[in-house]
Amino acid sequence: MVTDTMQRENKHPLMGKTVLLTGGTGSFGQAFIRRILAETDATIRVFSRDELKQYQVRERFGSERLRFMVGDVRDRRRLLRAANGVDVIVHAAAMKQVPACEYNPFEAVQTNVIGAQNVVEAAIDASVGVVVALSTDKAVNPVNVYGATKLCAEKIVVQGNVYAAGSSTQLFCVRYGNVMGSRGSVIPLFIRQREEGRLTITDERMSRFWITLDEAVDLVINSLIDSQGGEIFVPKIPSMRIVDLADAIAPGIPRVVTGIRAGEKIHETLITSDESRHAFDLGNRYVIMPENARFTGDGKPLVDGWTYTSDTNDEWLSSAEIRKTLESWDNLVE
């Protein structure tokens, strides 16, 4: 549990803690493991379905502070076992590929919705101090199965504080946009297509919020310090145009417009006009409070009716800025 004393001492919120990381072998999971091993003495229980990926993560980090548990968030009993003796749960497990969720909707429901409920119940039953669940801009005004299931997951986690009343467990969410270079993202696709001499773009008008893995980890760590339970923390991040991303990765390569796919939006939203009525500007982040909850932190109320969308964002990345960012990220761009 993050305490006032820890905040005053500026101590890392995971120092001395035992952390359960669901989806621990994914892109976020590995970035989180790298940071926490470097910055704290925490022990991390890596919980995921794939034993091969667990082996690869074990070989990559080689730390005695990592514990590996094969399991699925659909399995409540296995989650409860994994949560026993844990101080913090970081819930990153999800089905997140939009086309896969569209074609396998109930599989997405079982992982993203029932899985979130299982995490909440396991945390409360095991007296876990804090739960932070990762969400997405796709959960805002969802038009696809992935977004709809993540919206449900947000509601389940936030409402979990009601069921945890009287216990020591606090639950909250972080919500952010597209993660640069995560598995299945458009960046590896464009890099592969660059070698083939032709890029495919669904719609040239498209814009997206843009966040790096390190920034996503920062958001989780900082929000662990500030959360009192029930919030949705949203980072202030830039937008990028899909055509600028294409120019950054493959300048001069011919592009073919294929048409928008099922479940895609032209632009994304991180805060709706309805949410702005109970949201606050924290400086480097926004926080969406539960409706009718009292905000006790230092923050400025948002203007009623304000929205945070990728096409009306104040901050944009140019092709040159995108290229510079990519060059510093595992040399993705030559």
Q: What is the reported pLDDT for 3?
A: 39
Digit-by-digit pLDDT tens for the chain (334 residues) are: 343 434 434 589 999 999 999 999 999 999 999 999 999 999 999 999 999 999 999 999 999 999 999 999 999 999 999 999 999 999 999 999 998 999 999 999 999 999 999 999 999 999 999 999 999 999 999 999 999 999 999 999 999 999 998 899 999 999 999 998 676 678 888 999 999 999 999 999 999 999 999 999 999 999 999 999 999 999 999 999 999 999 999 999 999 999 988 888 999 999 999 999 999 999 999 999 998 788 888 899 999 999 999 999 999 999 899 988 887 655 443 3
| Structural domains present in the chain | 4-177+212-236+270-303 (3.40.50.720)
Q: Has 324 been annotated as catalytic? A: no
Given 17, 53, 96, 138, the catalytic residue: 138
Q: What is the reported pLDDT for 10?
A: 56
**Single-letter amino acid code for the residue at 158:** V
Q: What is the reported pLDDT for 333?
A: 37
Q: What is the reported pLDDT for 224?
A: 97
Q: Where in the chain does DSSP place strands (E)?
A: 18-22, 43-48, 66-70, 88-91, 130-136, 170-176, 178-179, 199-201, 207-211, 232-235, 239-241, 255-257, 269-271, 279-281, 285-288, 300-301, 308-309
Q: What is the reported pLDDT for 189?
A: 87
pTM: 0.93
Question: Which among 110, 122, 78, 91 has a CA at the least distance from the CA of 20?
Answer: 91
133 neighbors 230 (Cβ within 8 angstroms): no
Q: Work out the widest C-alpha separation in the chain, in whole angstroms.
A: 61
Q: What is the reported pLDDT for 263?
A: 82
Q: What is the reported pLDDT for 183?
A: 66
Q: What is the reported pLDDT for 6?
A: 40
